Amino acid sequence: MFPISRFVSESAAADLLQQVRWCDGVECPRCRSDLTVRNGSYREYQRYLCKNCGRTFNDKTG
């Protein structure tokens, strides 16, 4: 578990989520392809575009 004090901001939580979720590289949640590119951001969360199926997603998409 992570101590709650580590999440003093939305930015800190977003950074940790990104590190934990994509430790093996970014992967599309729809088609599981690793052919993804960064596609802007929304609030503190990075958006991605899957070059295989065209879906956009972020670190919280599941």
Write out the chain's pLDDT in tens, 62 residues.
Answer: 566 666 678 888 888 888 888 889 999 999 999 999 999 999 888 999 999 999 999 988 87
Domain range spanning residue 33? Answer: 26-62
Is 37 among the domain residues? yes
Length of the chain: 62
Coil, helix or strand for 7? coil
Is 60 among the domain residues? yes
Cα 4 to the center of its chain, rounded Å: 20
Is 8 among the domain residues? no
Is 41 among the domain residues? yes
What is the number of domains present in the chain? 1
The per-residue pLDDT for 6 is 62
Coil, helix or strand for 1? coil
pTM, two decimal places: 0.78
